[in-house]
Each structure stands twice: as C-alpha cells, then as structure tokens.
C-alpha cells in the first residue's frame, strides 16, 4: 500500500529503489549474524543519501530536514533498520552548526564522500544515566592537547565510524554556576590510543558499546565550539535527532500496517480471511489512525525546524507520538500474525524488537513527558 506517501514522491521513489535491493532475506541474515549492514550503508552513502543534510558547498546535497526525514522513513518502511546509519545525519549536524570554518572544511567534504564516517556520539555514562550533568568523564587541557579519562556506555556505531563526538567535563561540577555549564564536545578519531571498546550484546542488532577512556589525547583543534558550552551544543542537535527518529518510527508504523493488512487478507481460518473479523480489523484501523496523527506532528516539527523556528515541543511530541504509535502497530501486527509472527522469516519479530528501542533511546518517554510538563505547561520542575 502507498499510505502516507503523498509528500516528496520522487525522493521516496529513489530511496525505495535503493532499499529494494536489500530485501527481507538480507536483513534477516544480518540480524541472525548480528552483523553490521555494511553493503546497505555503503550503497546509501554512495547514492548521497547519507550526506543529505550537508550543504552543497561541502559536497553534500543540502536537503531540508523534512527531506532527510523522508529518507529515513523509507529505510524503515522498506523493512530495513535505520539504526545503522541515522547517527551520521544528526552527528554531522553538530559539526555543521558549531564547528569552526577550518573543522568544517577539513571534515565535511570527506564525510559527504563517505571517506570518513561520523556515526558515533558518546554522551551516556553508566552512573549518570539521563542526568547528563553528572557525567564523570573529564578532559583536562595540557598544552596543545586535552587528556581525557572516564567511561561511556551505549556508544553506538563506534566500530563503524572513523570519528566520534565525545562529551566530557572540562570544569568540575562544583566549580560551575549552572550544572549544565563546564562540559565540552570534541571530535575524536576512533582509532586513537586510550579507547577500549567493548560491544554490548543487546535485544536489537544495534552495534553499541561500552567505552573505557584511559588518557585519551585529543588535539586542542578538535574541540568543537567554545570550551564549557558542549552540553548546549548537544541539546541544540536534539531537535533534528528527535524528528529523524520520529520519521523512522512512522516508516516502521506503516510497514506494520501494510504487513498486518496483507496477512489479514490472505490468512484463512474458519473458512474466512481473518481480516473479515472486526476483532482483527479494528486494532489495525486504530493503529493506522495513530500513525497518521503522529505523522502530522512529524511534518509540523520538521517544517518548523526547516524555517529555523523554535520546535522543541513539536520535535519531542513527534518523537513520542511516533514511537508509541509504531510500538502499538508492532504489537497488533504480531497479534494479527498469531504464531507465525514469532517466526523470523516473517520479519515481524525483528521489526518488533527494532521499533521498541525508540521508547527508550535516544530519550526515554518519561523525560519527554517531563519536558512538556515543565517547559510547555508551566508545571513545577521535578528534578
Ligand atoms: C541500543 C541503544 C543505543 C544507544 N545509543 C546511544 C549512543 O549512541 N550514544 C549515547 O550517548 N547514548 C546512547 N544510548 C543511551 C540512551 O540514550 C539512554 O539509554 C536513554 O537516554 C535512557 O537513559 P538511561 O538508560 O541512562 O536510563 P536512566 O536514566 O537510568 O533511567 C531509567 C528509567 O528511569 C526513568 N527516569 C529517570 N529519571 C526519571 C525521572 N526524574 N522521572 C521519571 N522517570 C525517570 C527513565 O525515563 C528510564 O525509563 C543508547 C541506548 C540504547 C539502549
């Protein structure tokens, strides 16, 4: 079915055509082996879709965030997993918005051509959790270098990335006026001495790691923006991240709806297609409605972002509504398939696992609700 595909038909067709070369057998094989979809990411890079948001002057295609979100939506909608590649789009944005002219000139053309990948961002730490201001990784300036010590967790795609954006404290927490001050971000060569990377086997086939940082040396020139303002830069990039993830969830949602309808039409039990039963139809119809509604918020948020208007609330709402709608659609799709939903060859159980992640990462549901309560509804701060 072609539901929800009214916008950007040519872009969609081109991305779909590429994704069509990576069929369900490809993704099943990758999932079974817990491998990284190298061939898929290479094809996406070669076609220029990975550099969609890089301005033309740096060799990218200079597309809008709305268009970039359509690319990610088509990846998940084709049955693929965009978790292998979405990081580059929003990590690169941090460099684009806050990097120096020299850094942009040095790195962006190589990222656009695929020579370098900037797919990893090390923010989360095991003890700080969502309270990022409590991170313990510290960077101390020694002459022309920063020396970094600490630990990160859930640093994704690090083993398939030449560069990583790393958040570290440069001024101790007890010496800053505001707890969000005193953190800085750095562009790190992932092959550097001092990084010990240990993969975390997880529910999804998502290349993610623990990273132990022991006297990692970073040249001063790799500091992004001003020292001490890193947390602000990270927050600044979150709206784009939320909108792209929302679009991926929308793609998942339509994939589950398509699969549910196809199976409900074809599976015959008690001498009739199961889709004739309203007990099967209604949950699918309800999920479809929720995906459509979340999609409106995704386009609203993306359009505000593209107009350079403030979009924090909309980006958070889009991500939350889309992740929830996709997860509900996943559940209904599994139920519609009965026992066969559990068989890997139907892809439903894999996509079910993949879409579940987005209620937790890159930001968990409660934190979005708390943002809206405090910043939009004016309710008292709870932490
Ligand atoms: C597969 C995967 C990939 C990831 N990739 C990356 C990555 O590339 N880079 C990176 O930096 N991070 C990454 N993350 C980390 C991810 O962003 C965090 O897991 C997520 O933000 C939640 O943080 P936490 O796990 O520390 O949960 P915690 O902060 O420990 O919270 C646990 C639970 O308690 C809730 N909670 C906490 N405080 C409150 C409160 N005050 N009120 C109500 N509820 C609360 C949370 O919502 C959550 O449900 C990844 C995680 C996963 C699972």
**Phi, psi (rounded to 5 degrees) for 208:** -140, 155
Which ligand 1 atom is at minimum distance from the Cα of 363?
21
| The token pair that represents 155 in the structure block | 């640093």
Phi-psi region of 142 (alpha: psi -120 to 50; beta: other; left: phi over 0): beta
Ligand 1 centroid to Cα of residue 164, in Å, is 19
User: What local confidence, expressed as pLDDT, does residue 1 receive?
Assistant: 83
Which ligand 1 atom is at minimum distance from the Cα of 364?
47
- Give the global pTM: 0.97
**Phi, psi (rounded to 5 degrees) for 167:** -100, 130
Comparing 319 with 3, which gets the higher pLDDT? 319
- Pocket residue to mutate for ligand 1, from 34, 82, 135, 154, most atoms within 8 A of Cβ: 154
For 133-152, the pLDDT digits (tens) are 999 999 999 999 999 999 99
Which ligand 1 atom is at minimum distance from the Cα of 362?
17
Per-residue confidence band for 41, with pLDDT thresholds at 50, 70 and 90: very high
Phi-psi region of 114 (alpha: psi -120 to 50; beta: other; left: phi over 0): left
Q: Is residue 26's pLDDT more than 90?
A: yes
Q: Contact at 8 Å (CB) between 79 and 251?
A: no
The mean pLDDT of 206-213, rounded to a whole number, is: 97
- Pocket residue to mutate for ligand 1, from 150, 204, 361, 365, most atoms within 8 A of Cβ: 361
Distance, in Å, from the CA atom of 20 to the CA atom of 58, rounded to the nearest integer, reads 29
Per-residue confidence band for 114, with pLDDT thresholds at 50, 70 and 90: very high
Do β-strands 118-122 and 163-169 pair in parallel, antiparallel, or remain unpaired?
parallel
Instruction: Label residue 32 exposed, middle or buried (CB < 10 Å: 0-12, 13-18, 19+).
Output: exposed
Q: Is residue 112's pLDDT more than 90?
A: yes
| The token pair that represents 128 in the structure block | 């700080």
Sequence-distant (≥ 6) Cβ neighbours of residue 307 within 8 angstroms? none
| The token pair that represents 289 in the structure block | 């409605």
Please give the angle made by the CA atoms of 131, 68 and 129, to the nearest 5 degrees.
10
Ligand 1 atom 24: the closest Cα is on which residue?
Answer: 129
Per-residue confidence band for 90, with pLDDT thresholds at 50, 70 and 90: confident
| The token pair that represents 94 in the structure block | 């941090």
Ligand 1 centroid to Cα of residue 125, in Å, is 9
Ligand 1 centroid to Cα of residue 128, in Å, is 10
Which ligand 1 atom is at minimum distance from the Cα of 200?
1
User: What local confidence, expressed as pLDDT, does residue 88 receive?
Assistant: 87
Distance, in Å, from the CA atom of 250 to the CA atom of 53, rounded to the nearest integer, reads 20
Ligand 1 atom 30: the closest Cα is on which residue?
Answer: 129
Which ligand 1 atom is at minimum distance from the Cα of 366?
47
Distance, in Å, from the CA atom of 73 to the CA atom of 296, rounded to the nearest integer, reads 14
Ligand 1 atom 2: the closest Cα is on which residue?
Answer: 154
The mean pLDDT of 13-42, rounded to a whole number, is: 97
Which ligand 1 atom is at minimum distance from the Cα of 206?
1
User: What local confidence, expressed as pLDDT, does residue 143 receive?
Assistant: 98
Ligand 1 centroid to Cα of residue 42, in Å, is 29
The mean pLDDT of 31-60, rounded to a whole number, is: 96
Per-residue confidence band for 78, with pLDDT thresholds at 50, 70 and 90: very high
Instruction: Label residue 53 exposed, middle or buried (CB < 10 Å: 0-12, 13-18, 19+).
Output: buried
Ligand 1 centroid to Cα of residue 359, in Å, is 10
Comparing 4 with 20, which gets the higher pLDDT? 20
Q: Indicate if 241 belongs to the active site.
A: yes
Please give the angle made by the CA atoms of 254, 256 and 262, to the nearest 5 degrees.
100
- Pocket residue to mutate for ligand 1, from 127, 130, 381, most atoms within 8 A of Cβ: 130
The mean pLDDT of 324-351, rounded to a whole number, is: 98
Ligand 1 atom 53: the closest Cα is on which residue?
Answer: 361
**Phi, psi (rounded to 5 degrees) for 364:** -85, 155
Q: Any residues with Cβ below 6 Å from ligand 1, and which?
A: 121-124, 129-130, 154-156, 202, 204, 206, 208, 357, 360-364, 366-367, 370, 383
Ligand 1 centroid to Cα of residue 168, in Å, is 18
Catalytic member of 241, 248, 290, 354 = 241
Q: How far is CA 155 from CA 72, 111, 208, in A?
A: 20, 19, 5
| The token pair that represents 222 in the structure block | 């790799």
Ligand 1 centroid to Cα of residue 268, in Å, is 43
The residue among 44, 140, 31 whose CA lies nearest residue 85 is 44
């Amino acid at each position: 079915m072609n539901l929800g595909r009214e916008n950007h038909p040519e872009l969609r067709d081109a991305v779909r055509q590429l994704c069509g070369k990576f069929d369900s057998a490809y993704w099943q094989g990758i999932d079974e082996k817990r491998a990284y979809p190298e061939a898929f990411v290479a094809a996406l890079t070669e076609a220029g879709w990975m550099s969609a948001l890089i301005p033309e002057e740096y060799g990218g295609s200079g597309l809008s965030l709305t268009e970039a979100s359509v690319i990610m939506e088509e990846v998940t909608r084709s049955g693929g997993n965009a978790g292998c590649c979405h990081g580059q789009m929003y990590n690169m944005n941090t460099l684009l918005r806050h990097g120096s002219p020299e850094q942009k000139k040095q790195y962006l053309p190589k990222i656009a051509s695929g020579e370098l990948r900037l797919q990893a961002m090390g923010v989360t730490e095991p003890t700080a959790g969502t309270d990022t201001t409590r991170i313990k990784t510290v960077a101390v300036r020694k002459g022309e270098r920063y020396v970094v010590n600490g630990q990160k967790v859930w640093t994704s795609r690090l083993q398939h990335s030449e560069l990583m954006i790393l958040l570290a404290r440069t001024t101790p927490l007890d010496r800053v006026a505001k707890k969000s001050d005193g953190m800085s971000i750095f562009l790190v060569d992932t092959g550097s001495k001092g990084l010990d990377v240990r993969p975390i086997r997880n529910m999804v086939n998502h290349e993610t790691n623990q990273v132990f940082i022991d006297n990692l040396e970073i040249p001063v020139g790799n500091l992004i923006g001003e020292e001490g303002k890193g947390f602000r830069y990270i927050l600044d990039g979150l709206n784009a991240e939320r909108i792209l993830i929302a679009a991926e969830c929308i793609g998942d949602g339509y994939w589950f709806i398509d699969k549910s309808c196809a199976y409900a039409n074809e599976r015959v039990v008690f001498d009739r297609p199961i889709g004739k039963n309203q007990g099967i139809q209604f949950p699918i119809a309800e999920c479809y409605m929720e995906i459509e509604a979340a999609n409106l918020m995704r386009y609203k948020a993306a359009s505000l972002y593209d107009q350079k208007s403030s979009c924090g609330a909309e980006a958070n709402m889009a991500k939350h509504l889309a992740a929830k709608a996709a997860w509900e659609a996943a559940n209904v799709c599994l139920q519609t398939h009965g026992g066969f939903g559990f068989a890997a060859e139907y892809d439903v159980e894999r996509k079910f696992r993949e879409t579940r992640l987005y209620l937790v990462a890159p930001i968990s549901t409660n934190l979005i609700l708390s943002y809206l309560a405090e910043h939009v509804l004016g309710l008292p701060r709870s932490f």
